[in-house]
Amino acid sequence: MPKTIKEINERIAKGKAVVLTAEEIIDLVEEKGLDKAAEEVDVVTTGTFGPMCSSGAYINIGHAKPRIKLGGGKTYLNDIPAYAALAAADLYIGAAALPDDDPRNKKHPGGFEYGGGHLIHDLVAGEDIRLVATAYGTDCYPRKKLETWINIKDLNEAVLFNPRNAYQNYNCAVNVSDEIIYTYMGVLKPGLGNANYCSAGQLSPLLNDPLYKTTGIGTRIFLGGAQGYVVWHGTQHDPGVARGDNGVPLAPAGTLAVLGDLKQMQPKWLVGASLQGYGATLTVGIGIPIPILNAEICKYTAVKDEDLYAPIMDYSEAYPQCKPGSLGKVSYAQLKTGSITVDGKEVPTASLSSYPKAREIAGILKGWIQKGEFLLTEPLAGLPGPDSGYAFTSLPERPIE
Amino acid sequence: MTSKRIVLRFPPRLINRPIVSDLVKRYDLEFNILKAYVTQREEGLLVLEISGTSDACERGLNYLAEVGVSVQPLSQDIVRDDDRCTHCGLCVSVCPSGALALDRETMMVLFDNEKCIACELCIKACPTRAMELHF
């Protein structure tokens, strides 16, 4: 008997909804079968907590007296350059931003100890942030300099707005060269010395909704410890990649653009990260609820690590040079054992995405829904699906003569 | 037989004395150098694993203290900030001694500082900088 989101919300409001995490649904489906499980369960919660580089926040600092137009000038927050090309008092902080005097990779591999991601974490943690701005001055905005402490509690708005998060599946990165390399997938030792992956697998939001049947624009989610929303498909959304019989992509595919009130979020779920030799970023906690409207949706949420596969990609040559082809595929179940076999060699594995934190997020979201604090939303529009023709293309470079 | 992992700090005046060889000759201790360098203040820093009878270990350590070498157990030196650790597991593959390992049931990162050789590889590998050096 199919359900509607409205019916599920009525049960949530009464505190009667049956909510399981994406791990728990696996056992229930095995025990009771798909139809029975789909009938009993209202919502399955997912979670992921990993470095998501295409993240950032916009803030409005309020108007100084006399007024200053930050737009078109330069603004720094804790020495991190903020994007100041949005009117007078709006700024955007990108997770990958670095202080002008950061040595970057001049002494390779750089440490990237403090970047935009760390700044966002400090802002959310309620720490005072040092703002230094210069502007060109106008008749209506005469001031040319501003130096002040700011604090999130005094900002008019502080909004996390991440253009690309929650990648649906990701590469397992290795290094076939004979030199160590430092990548956004971590340090990769030569000669297939290690393999790093980055997905929560069976807990990961879009691996539980592979065809975007329930997640769409307007879906309310767990974002950084508060309630947020899916606002668009993410950049580089690539729904048309090869998929397995279960509908799950065999390569990085769908992505989400997400937004939420930074003032409500918690520093625990937005953590600055430094990737040696690569850069600074933000580790973001996201959890998406999936309404179990029918048995088909239930089946997708019961997907197991052994049925989810990551492509093994060489990051010494194939990835940087955009050469197609992988070194094979490997299941998340195998990745989680700590060792995989590539070209006949046993390779130790590690994850950039935290599975225990993904589990914690799915549990928190489950608690919110059970207590009636979090109602599900009907998507306003769907995300481009596998048959939409929507695809991620590389840059058609046209050299400038 | 016991073995201990220790951090030794040599003041500049002791740098030219063959103190570690005394541990071998006088106290019949075996040693394995885990790390050695001279700091900018010309203080020598040596991380050793010594092994011998427990009596010899004790007498050797007393000797080091008498000549003016500061001695500290190694396990105090690499510390994990549990508030910062997200248990991603990235440190596990760079740890050469197995001090950092994943509990495959819970997928939590376990840190056994008895096994730690203070190589410091985890410090830069950790994205959230949860591993700290406290020399």
What confidence tens digit (pLDDT) does each residue in A19-60 have? 999 999 999 999 999 999 999 999 999 999 999 999 999 999
Task: State the Cα–Cα distance between residues B10 and A207, nearest whole angstrom.
Answer: 56
Q: Of A53, A140, A198, A322, which one is the catalytic site residue?
A: A140
Indicate the length of chain A as a whole number.
401
Q: Is pTM, for the whole model, over 0.90?
A: yes
Predicted local confidence at residue B44, as pLDDT = 87
pLDDT tens digits, B2-21: 888 888 999 988 878 888 89
Count of Cβ atoms closer than 10 Å to residue A41 Cβ: 25
Smallest Cβ distance to B94: which of A113, A187, A352? A187
Which chain A residues are within 8 Å of B133, Cβ to Cβ?
none
Reply yes or no on whether A140 is catalytic. Answer: yes
Residues B114, B118, B120, B123, CA torsion sign? positive
Smallest Cβ distance to B86: which of A113, A336, A354? A354
Question: Domain ranges in chain B?
Answer: 2-74, 78-133
Inspect the interface and report whether the beta carbons of A354 and B92 lie closer than 8 Å: no
Predicted local confidence at residue B76, as pLDDT = 65
DSSP A214: S
Task: State the Cα–Cα distance between residues A245 and A239, nearest whole angstrom.
Answer: 15
Minimal C-alpha gap between B90 and chain A (Å)? 5
Tell which wins on pLDDT, B77 or A24: A24
Architecture of domain B2-74: 2-Layer Sandwich (3.30)
Inspect the interface and report whether the beta carbons of B107 and A283 lie closer than 8 Å: no
* Residues B7, B74 contacting (CB under 8 angstroms): yes
Smallest Cβ distance to A274: which of B94, B104, B127? B127
Angle, in degrees to the nearest 10, between helices B19-27 and B54-67:
150
Helix (H) or strand (E) holding A102: none
Predicted local confidence at residue A273, as pLDDT = 98
Task: State the Cα–Cα distance between residues A192 and B61, nearest whole angstrom.
Answer: 42
Contacts of A203 (CB under 8 A, 6+ apart): A21, A22, A23, A46, A47, A48, A355, A358, A359, A362
CA distances from B6 to B55, B69, B99, B122 (A): 16, 11, 16, 19
Task: State the Cα–Cα distance between residues A257 and B46, nearest whole angstrom.
Answer: 51
Tell me which of 1.10.260.40, 3.30.70.20, 3.10.420.10, 3.40.50.720 is the CATH number of domain B78-133: 3.30.70.20
CA distances from A322 to A316, A350, B64 (A): 11, 24, 58
Contacts of A103 (CB under 8 A, 6+ apart): A110
CA A299 to chain centre: 24
Predicted local confidence at residue B1, as pLDDT = 83
Average pLDDT of the segment spanning B56-69? 92
Prediction ipTM score:
0.92
Tell which wins on pLDDT, A324 or B135: A324
Instruction: Using alpha carbons, select from A332, A324, A330, A339 the residue that is nearest to residue A311.
Output: A330
Minimal C-alpha gap between B110 and chain A (Å)? 12
Indicate the length of chain B as a whole number.
135
Task: State the Cα–Cα distance between residues A137 and A77, nearest whole angstrom.
Answer: 20
Instruction: Using alpha carbons, select from A23, A16, A27 the residue that is nearest to residue A47.
Output: A23
Is the pLDDT at A301 greater than 90, yes or no?
yes
Is the pLDDT at B75 greater than 70, yes or no?
no
Inspect the interface and report whether the beta carbons of A283 and B125 lie closer than 8 Å: no
Which chain A residues are within 8 Å of B98, Cβ to Cβ?
none
Specify the 3-state DSSP secondary structure of B25: helix
Count of Cβ atoms closer than 10 Å to residue A1 Cβ: 7
Q: Does B2-74 match B78-133 in CATH topology?
A: yes
Is the pLDDT at A1 greater than 90, yes or no?
no
pLDDT tens digits, A169-183: 999 999 999 999 999
How do strand A345-351 and strand A195-197 relate by DSSP bridges? parallel
Average pLDDT of the segment spanning A338-351? 96
Predicted local confidence at residue B135, as pLDDT = 63
State residue A201 phi and psi, 5-degree precision: 60, -120
Tell which wins on pLDDT, B21 or B41: B21
* Residues A2, A294 contacting (CB under 8 angstroms): yes
CA B79 to chain centre: 11
pLDDT tens digits, A198-253: 999 999 999 999 999 999 999 999 999 999 999 999 999 999 999 999 999 999 99
* Residues A334, A33 contacting (CB under 8 angstroms): no
Is the pLDDT at B72 greater than 90, yes or no?
no
Task: State the Cα–Cα distance between residues B20 and B11, nearest whole angstrom.
Answer: 14
* Residues A272, A113 contacting (CB under 8 angstroms): no
Please give the residue of chain B at the shortest CA–CA distance from A335: B104
Q: What angle do CA A286, A328, B109 make, to 5 degrees?
A: 45
Specify the 3-state DSSP secondary structure of A274: strand
Count of Cβ atoms closer than 10 Å to residue B62 Cβ: 12
Looking at chain B, the whole-number percentage of residues with pLDDT higher than 70 is 98
Predicted local confidence at residue B68, as pLDDT = 92
Count of Cβ atoms closer than 10 Å to residue B12 Cβ: 12
